[in-house]
């Protein structure tokens, strides 16, 4: 089952052929006299009655407090029930004038673990990344280097071109919305909810598709990061977004993930999250 999101132009063309059915012009005078008045009456009625749909509908109101609480609760529950994910597809990187599209394999499970493999379209591997709690390893086949150490010290940002914390990255790769800690949730505009910290500042903003509980985007104003979710398909645990876009405000940095397949809560062998340097690779340890 596919969820079509957004608006599509629809146009119906009606073609009616009347050739061979027109009467001669000499008979039109009689027809005008007999049916002209009823036709005019019907035309006037249709004119006035048909104008009703043209009246602008009232603007959509923000969510009520009850709706706001329920929507955020649903997103949190959806994220908590996902314990693993496996996604296969393509990833497109854009940074200033540079742009590249590569193959992507993303795997994750709880407790927090992620493995990402990035390769050329023809299959040659480029990077392997394993994040296991606070520890991380990056195998770069581009320059035969192996980085290992604390996640905060590794060049994760240079690979993904984003500054997300690792837990939020797990959620986004799994196709769910991370819910950061907050003091109050409010809806200040239609189809959107803002999560405020204790100082009343917006930590996170989540928008939804009109007339749908499906999330459309999530943004983190302090980090200047926005994530868009689209192309939802029915999966084993509900709708999965197969297109995930990550953009950094005021920069040209952009990542687009296009999953061909995204499955959740399937068993993942523990050895998937093991990564060791091959012979001949320079090992670089980065620790605090």
User: Pick from 138, 150, 129, 84: which is nearest to 111 by CA?
Assistant: 84
- Whether 71 is covered by a domain: the verdict is yes
* Mean pLDDT, residues 43-60 taken together: 46
Peptide bond just before 111 cis, omega within 30 deg: yes
**Integer Cα distance of 226 and 192 in angstroms:** 14
CA distances 11 to 53, 57, 218, 220, Å, are 17, 22, 33, 39
pLDDT for the residue 46: 42
pLDDT at 119 over 80: yes
**Rounded to the nearest 5°, which phi and psi values hold at 87?**
-125, 135
Tally the domains of the chain. Answer: 1
With beta carbons less than 8 A apart as the criterion, state whether 241 and 234 touch: no
* DSSP for residue 83: -
* Mean pLDDT, residues 108-122 taken together: 92
pLDDT grade for 58, boundaries at 50, 70 and 90:
low
- Host domain of residue 164: 65-286
CATH number, position 82: 2.50.20.10
pLDDT at 231 over 70: yes
- Whether 248 is covered by a domain: the verdict is yes
Instruction: List, for residues 144-190, the tens digit of each pLDDT value.
Output: 999 998 877 765 555 554 567 788 889 999 999 999 999 999 999 99
With beta carbons less than 8 A apart as the criterion, state whether 271 and 278 touch: no
> Of all helices (H) and strands (E), which one includes residue 92?
strand 84-95
- Whether 43 is covered by a domain: the verdict is no
What are the tokens at 37?
């008045």
Q: Provide the percentage of residues in the chain whose pLDDT is more than 90.
A: 56
Q: Which residue has the higher pLDDT, 158 or 224?
A: 224
CA dihedral sign of residues 151, 176, 229, 243? positive
User: Pick from 152, 158, 182, 162: which is nearest to 225 by CA?
Assistant: 162
Q: Which residue has the higher pLDDT, 209 or 53?
A: 209
- Whether 88 is covered by a domain: the verdict is yes
CA angle (5, 11, 15) in 5-degree steps: 155
| Beta carbons within 8 Å of 109's beta carbon, 6+ residues apart | 83, 84, 85, 268, 273
- Whether 1 is covered by a domain: the verdict is no
* Max CA distance (Å), the chain: 100
The per-residue pLDDT of the chain, averaged, comes to 80
């Amino acid at each position: 089952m596919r969820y079509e999101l957004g608006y599509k132009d629809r146009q119906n063309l009606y073609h009616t052929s009347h050739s061979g059915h027109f009467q001669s012009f000499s008979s039109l005078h009689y027809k005008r006299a007999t049916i002209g008045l009823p036709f005019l009456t019907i035309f006037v009625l249709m004119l006035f009655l048909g104008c009703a749909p043209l009246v602008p509908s009232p603007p959509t109101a923000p969510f009520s407090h009850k709706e706001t609480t329920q929507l955020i609760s649903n997103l949190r529950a959806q994220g908590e029930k996902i314990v693993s994910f496996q996604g296969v597809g393509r990833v497109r990187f854009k940074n200033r004038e540079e742009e590249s599209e590569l193959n992507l394999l993303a795997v994750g499970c709880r407790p927090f673990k992620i493995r990402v493999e990035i390769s050329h379209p023809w299959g040659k591997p480029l990077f392997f990344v394993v994040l296991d709690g606070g520890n991380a390893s990056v195998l770069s086949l581009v320059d035969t280097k192996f980085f290992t150490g604390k996640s905060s010290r590794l060049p994760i940002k240079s690979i993904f071109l984003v500054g997300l914390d690792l837990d939020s990255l797990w959620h986004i790769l799994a196709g769910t919305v991370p819910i950061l800690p907050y003091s109050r949730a409010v809806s200040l505009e239609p189809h959107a909810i803002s999560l405020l910290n204790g100082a009343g500042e917006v930590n996170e903003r989540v928008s939804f598709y009109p007339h749908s509980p499906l999330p459309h985007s999530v943004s983190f104003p302090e980090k200047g990061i926005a994530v868009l979710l689209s192309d939802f398909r029915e999966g084993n645990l509900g709708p999965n977004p197969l297109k995930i876009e990550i953009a950094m405000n005021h920069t040209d940095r952009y990542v687009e993930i296009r999953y061909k397949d995204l499955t959740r809560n399937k068993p993942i062998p523990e050895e998937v999250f093991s990564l060791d340097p091959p012979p001949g690779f320079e090992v670089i340890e980065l620790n605090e």
